[in-house]
Amino acid sequence: MIYRSKINPVDYSALKDLQIAFGWSNDQLDYLVACMMFESGLNPQAVNKVSGAVGLIQFIKPTYTALGYTKEEVLNMTFAEQVRKLVEPYFKPYYRRTKTLNDMYMAILMPKYIGTPDNTVIFSEGKPYNQNKALDKNKDGRITKAEACQYVNHLYLKGQRDI
């Protein structure tokens, strides 16, 4: 597992339980860990200063509310608790379709783009674009799936070197 040295045994166990529940390969679990590393640095108490998103995969208010939790409850959960109580139910509708790293990240960022080509434009104007403007690598006013996933891919490759 990538970033294994940053994940304690209890948290690793929660991730392995998730992997078994979803029938994911080791690669798919590594994709999720890379996404968590990008979103939160593997910190369950991470808070995004721009969007207010919280936790391991940066849950926004409508998401954590739909899962039955408040922001405070999410932030008081451990890594393992978030994996079991939030990440697993969140991924339930998507887990069969997250076969690539880019699709794993799309499940977190914009699920409707799971399975679309990497050149698909996912943001081009308005608040969603502005909140993700840093992902617009070529500064053309459009963020493609590939651009959105570029840093996640970097972290995945970096994690592979750290094994």
pTM of the predicted model as reported, rounded to 2 decimal places: 0.95
**pLDDT given at position 47:** 98
**pLDDT given at position 163:** 63
User: What CATH code is carried by the domain that includes residue 84?
Assistant: 1.10.530
Q: Which residue in this structure is represented by tokens 């208010």?
A: 61
**pLDDT given at position 50:** 84
**Separation of alpha carbons 75 and 82, rounded Å:** 9
Domain enclosing residue 125, as ranges = 4-161
Residue ranges in the chain whose pLDDT is less than 70: 163
Domain count, the chain: 1
